[in-house]
Structure 1
Amino acid sequence: MSGLRALRNRFVDAPDSLGERFRAARWERFRNCFPGIADMRVVDLGGTASNWTRSPLRPKHVHLVNLEAHPAELPDWITAEIADVTDPEIPGKLGEFDLVVSNSTIEHVGGPSQRRRFVAAIEQLAPLHWVQTPYRYFPVEPHFLAPGFQFLPLAAQAKLVRHWPLTHSRPATPEEGMDAVINIELLTRAEMGYLFPRSVILSERVAGLTKSLTAVRTRV
């Protein structure tokens, strides 16, 4: 493993990484918000089976909805399908759940109109929710581990991502570089408050700085 890959692994990917410690603390906050999680039917928008199988919590049932393929074999308490919940016809077909969970997904769904459709789906699917997203004004962009990356012009982002050493998978062409960055729009506290006016917006902090925001509704 190269030194730079080892550095990314230390920060984000390894089981004992800083990122994994943040995820463990987030699960504990999640447990405190939803102490009855063991009896809940959860729909996870944008989530993965591995996220739940590694979790210290186990809901009654989890249904994964993602645009990417799911593993062929899943535990009996997890089901999955490929679907786009910003399509207004999809949420009604998914059924009803107790809780919507979505981690680091809303910043990928597209512009403001798509985000409003995403929130409309959340409201339709369940009375409770936990919707987490990286905070735009945290100094390090979380997808590429690059300081100030989110404030660069789009063309500069697409060029830099092809050369930045801490990128998870560096794009090989200019087109791939643009594909990697064009659908990432980090949100502010103002936008999260606008999208979730009846929710509590929690802050996850690192060294006193807000790292991510979570819109939480724990009661009807």
Structure 2
Amino acid sequence: MALHSLRFRLVDSPTSLGAKRRARRAAWLSETFPKLATMRVLDLGGRVQSWAKVPVRPAHVHVVNLEPLPTDLPDWAEADHADACELPEHILGRRYDLVFSNSVLEHVGGYERRRRMAEAIRDLAPAYWVQTPYRYFPIEPHWVAPGMQFLPVPARVAVARKWPLAYTPGKSYDLALKQVLTTELVGRAELRHLFPDATIRNERLLGLTKSLIAVRQP
């Protein structure tokens, strides 16, 4: 229990290291795209409430997620329940100024689905920002477990169920297995392959690359 509360202080609380890094990333986004406040943004896998907290909010945000959608949307937002790797025609037929995705690419389910998501991102707007945790950072970020991403599947399931810094330690085997199999961290070579026209930026922690960001500016 003490370790689980440590996770809250390090990652999940509004004053945690994770929250500070998310705020720094939001500032970096607005610095990278100085016209962000006037842009129409497609957010694949995000949440409307996250955009309400950023220092610079786009003129319009279209959120696409497989999670239940909010019922009360502000006038600057819209939301669709859809798969980022198989976007419906009414989204594919639109154009945006920027496509944004934060910590989603590693969850979509295998290389082929990542390729389809990347293809849509590159086609839908002249600019994009795709962040994903770096596979070779020594701490697996979802479970805050050292080297977990390099273990065989049964060992990762055991960590997902028992490791006290996990979101919900003690979960069922089936749920832990599903979470493990749908979390596949990406390395630099694959990200460059998926986004060949991007600049790959490093987000560092203690001098080590913690996450990668593929950025294409208009």
TM-score band w.r.t. shorter chain? over 0.9
1:30-109 matches, within 5 Å, as 30-87=29-86, 89-90=88-89, 92-93=91-92, 95-109=94-108
- Once the two structures are superposed, what CA deviation does each residue of 1:104-151 show, in whole Å capped at 9, x if it has no partner? 001111111111100111122111100000000001001000010100
Are residues 177 and 65 of structure 1, via their aligned partners in 2, closer, same or farther at CA, if it must alter by over 3 Å? same
Matched, 1:166 2:165: yes
CA contact (8 A) 1:88 1:117 kept: no
Tell me, in whole angstroms, the C-alpha distance in 1 between the residues paired with 2:177 and 2:214: 29
CA contact (8 A) 1:45 1:65 kept: yes
The alpha carbon displacement at 1:93 in A equals 4.4
User: Which letter does structure 2 place at the counterpart of 1:82?
Assistant: H
Q: Residue 135 of structure 1 aligns with which residue? A: 134
Q: Secondary structure at the match of 2:79?
A: strand
What TM-score comes out, normalization by structure 1 length? 0.95
User: Which letter does structure 1 place at the counterpart of 2:24?
Assistant: A
CA contact (8 A) 1:91 1:125 kept: no
Q: Residue 122 of structure 1 aligns with which residue? A: 121
Q: Secondary structure at the match of 1:58?
A: coil
Matched, 1:207 2:206: yes
The alpha carbon displacement at 1:163 in A equals 0.6
Tell me, in whole angstroms, the C-alpha distance in 1 between the residues paired with 2:94 and 2:177: 36
Tell me, in whole angstroms, the C-alpha distance in 2 between the residues paired with 1:92 and 1:14: 34
- Once the two structures are superposed, what CA deviation does each residue of 1:71-116 show, in whole Å capped at 9, x if it has no partner? 1112110110101131265475462111000000011111111111
1:175-186 matches, within 5 Å, as 175-186=174-185
Tell me, in whole angstroms, the C-alpha distance in 2 between the residues paired with 1:143 and 1:90: 32
User: Which letter does structure 2 place at the counterpart of 1:35?
Assistant: P
Tell me, in whole angstroms, the C-alpha distance in 1 between the residues paired with 2:145 and 2:173: 19
The alpha carbon displacement at 1:171 in A equals 5.0
Tell me, in whole angstroms, the C-alpha distance in 2 between the residues paired with 1:90 and 1:172: 37
Tell me, in whole angstroms, the C-alpha distance in 1 between the residues paired with 2:87 and 2:78: 21
Matched residue pairs, number? Answer: 218
Tell me, in whole angstroms, the C-alpha distance in 2 between the residues paired with 1:169 and 1:91: 37
Matched, 1:27 2:10: no
User: Which letter does structure 2 place at the counterpart of 1:84?
Assistant: D
Tell me, in whole angstroms, the C-alpha distance in 2 between the residues paired with 1:127 and 1:62: 16
RMSD: 1.4
Percent of residue pairs identical = 49
Q: Residue 4 of structure 1 aligns with which residue? A: 3
User: Which letter does structure 1 place at the counterpart of 2:54?
Assistant: S
CA contact (8 A) 1:107 1:186 kept: yes
CA contact (8 A) 1:100 1:129 kept: yes
Structure 1: gaps (5+ residues): none
What TM-score comes out, normalization by structure 2 length? 0.96
